[in-house]
Chain A
Amino acid sequence: MIKNGTTDGNSTPARPRPLSPNIQIYRPQLTSVLSIANRFTGLVLSLGAVGLVIWLSAAAAGPRTYGVMQSAIGNWAGQVVLFGCTFAFFLHLCGGIRHLVWDTVHGFELRSIYISGWTVVAASVVLTAAAWTISLFVAGWHL
């Protein structure tokens, strides 16, 4: 650790130098916010994968367990969680595609970074809305 002290290094009692603030004061920007969002949606999706396994196990366990599971998903809280997972899925997917493009060393001009960033946000909203519209249209409104 870097300590305070005089140049002769032995006369001043050591007190660690303070660390200037980082995350506590740095302004949120599209760059950093989308990066955190990609991390967070990744986390949500891995939890969602556990949920998917539970749902499949319930289906395998028989109609009664499956019925309990379906009613849990079917109430408003379950629907909100499911909606959140859908949005997380699309945001993570679009963000991932953006990263793949970057890996080919394309789209690094600041203008492109911002255009692709907002495109990811808009595409995720549109795709989530589309996925829910289609599934409600196909499955019917059961609430």
Chain B
Amino acid sequence: MIVESSDQVPRLSWLKRFPIPRNFKVTPESRIEKGRIWPAPADAKRIKAFEIYRYDPDSGGNPRLDTFHVDVDDCGPMVLDALFWIKNKVDSTLTFRRSCREGVCGSCAMNMDGTNWLACTRFISDMDTNATIYPLANMRIIKDLVPDLTHVFAQYAAIEPWLRSETPEPEKERLQSPEERSQLDGYYECILCFCCTSGCPSHWWNGNRFLGPAVLLQAWRWLTDSRDEAKGERLDALEDPFRLYRCHTILNCTRTCPKGLNPGKAIAEIKRAIVEREK
């Protein structure tokens, strides 16, 4: 009932998805059709079913939901291992992003059993009986589990995520006290996997103009940096009904962050900074 940290897997959820039609607000080209059912190897003893979103841009067809049967005894412990097992042994066309396989690169962010997380740090044993894997929610899909992140990275660039300073460059590094440095804790660790932005209902409805939790957390990371001197201009750029204030403190972001960070709190800090400078 009480979730202590974001790595807690939802077990006692009353519903796996909202009770709405499958095609609610879905445009024709995004409708998901029934896909293939791939059987397990004949000698497999422990089998786990994975329903996986597939989209092949070359086929000209719609996305579909394939069911794979994974031999758990022949496969590593993580969901990413299951994806590799499928790609190596069943269907080599299954496409997904991955790099570090240890939760520091953010490439394998996807929607597993209805919430966003990294496939490399989610245990297969924590997945539902019929595990479901979709790409990050609310993204244009290039192929299978690979989302097009162009838009969210453009939003990231819009907050100018670099040090802006008027003071002449010092001979050595720009110094910070330990206290000033600690202001960045909980924000600099963001790996830009976009689990939070993709899980934010406000970003689903207003993603064109609302910057979303990942980008706003980064915005606060620069606002709270003692070496940065563009605080006023940064706040000016954010003070906008859509860019910042479409955040309605739903907090799906904080619930889903695979690094245990708190985008919801970062956004509240920005809102307070705007109020306080107007005093």
Contact = CB atoms under 8 A, between A and B. Distances in A.
Contact of B24 (A24, A35, A113): A24
A142 interface: no
Contacts of B150: 2
Interface stretch (B57-65, B82-90, B160-168, B225-233): B57-65
Interface stretch (B38-46, B235-243, B248-256): B248-256
Nearest to B14: A28
Chain B interface size, as a band, is: 35 or more
Interface string B250-279: 111011000000101100110110000000
A76 interface: no
A50 interface: no
Chain A interface size, as a band, is: 20 to 34
A108 B268 CA distance: 9
B272 A26 contact: no
A22 to B, nearest CB: 4
B134 A4 contact: no
Interface string B181-199: 0000000000000000011
A4 B13 contact: no
Interface string A1-35: 01010000000000111111111111111111001
The SS class assigned to the B binding surface is loop
Nearest to B202: A35
A27 B8 CA distance: 14
Given A27-B113, A35-B201, A118-B2, A17 B250 contact: no
B248 A21 contact: no
A114 B2 contact: yes
A17 B148 contact: yes
Contacts, number: 155
A60 to B, nearest CB: 38
Closest 10 CB pairs of A and B: A27-B114, A108-B265, A22-B138, A17-B140, A18-B30, A35-B250, A22-B137, A31-B251, A22-B204, A114-B2
Contact of B26 (A24, A103, A105, A113): A24
Interface of A: 2, 4, 15-32, 35, 99, 102-105, 108-111, 113-115, 118
6 contacts: A20-B30, A24-B23, A24-B26, A29-B252, A108-B268, A111-B3
B32 interface: yes
A18 B55 contact: yes
B27 interface: yes
A99 B249 CA distance: 8
Contacts of A111: 2-5
B2 A20 contact: no
Nearest to B275: A103
Contact of B135 (A20, A30, A32, A103): A20
Nearest to A3: B140
B175 interface: no
A24 B27 CA distance: 12
Nearest to A115: B2
Given A26-B18, A26-B199, A113 B57 contact: no
A22 B138 CA distance: 5
